[in-house]
Structure 1
Amino acid sequence: MSERVWAWRAMLAAAGVHGAVGVAAAAAASHGENARNLAAIAAIALSNGPALLALALAGRGRVLSVAATILAIGTAVFIGDLAMREWLGQGLFPGAAPLGGVAMIGGWLTIVLAAVTGRAGRLQNLVKVSAEPKAGMPHSGPR
Structure 2
Amino acid sequence: MGAQGVVLAALGAHAKPGSGLEGAAYLLLLHAVAVLAGGVLIERGPLWRPALVAATGGWATGAVLFSGTIAMQAFTGHRPFPLAAPTGGTILIAAWLALCVAALIGGRQE
TM-score, length basis structure 1: 0.67
- Show the 5 A alignment for 1:31-42: 31-32=14-15, 34-42=17-25
Q: Please report how far the alpha carbon of residue 101 of structure 1 lies from its aligned counterpart in structure 2 after TM superposition.
A: 0.2
**In the alignment, is residue 78 of structure 1 matched against residue 55 of structure 2?**
no
Percent of aligned positions that are identical? 34
Alpha-carbon distance between aligned partners in 1 of 2:68 and 2:108, rounded to the nearest angstrom? 29
1:105/1:113 CA distance change after superposition, 3 Å? same
1:66/1:120 CA distance change after superposition, 3 Å? farther
Q: Please report how far the alpha carbon of residue 119 of structure 1 lies from its aligned counterpart in structure 2 after TM superposition.
A: 4.0
- Pick 1 or 2: higher relative contact order, CA cutoff 8 A, min separation 6: 2
- Show the 5 A alignment for 1:59-70: 59-60=42-43, 61-70=49-58
Which of 23, 26, 34 is 2:9 aligned to?
Answer: 26
Q: Name the Cα RMSD after superposition.
A: 1.8
1:33/1:23 CA distance change after superposition, 3 Å? closer
Q: Please report how far the alpha carbon of residue 120 of structure 1 lies from its aligned counterpart in structure 2 after TM superposition.
A: 8.8
1:32/1:67 CA distance change after superposition, 3 Å? same
Residue segments in structure 2 that go unaligned for 5+ positions in a row:
44-48
TM-score, length basis structure 2: 0.85
1:28/1:68 CA distance change after superposition, 3 Å? same
3-state SS of the aligned residue for 2:91? Answer: helix
Moved more, 92-101 or 61-70: 61-70
Read off the aligned partner of 1:32 and give its amino acid letter.
A
Aligned to 2:97: 109
Alpha-carbon distance between aligned partners in 1 of 2:55 and 2:108, rounded to the nearest angstrom? 11
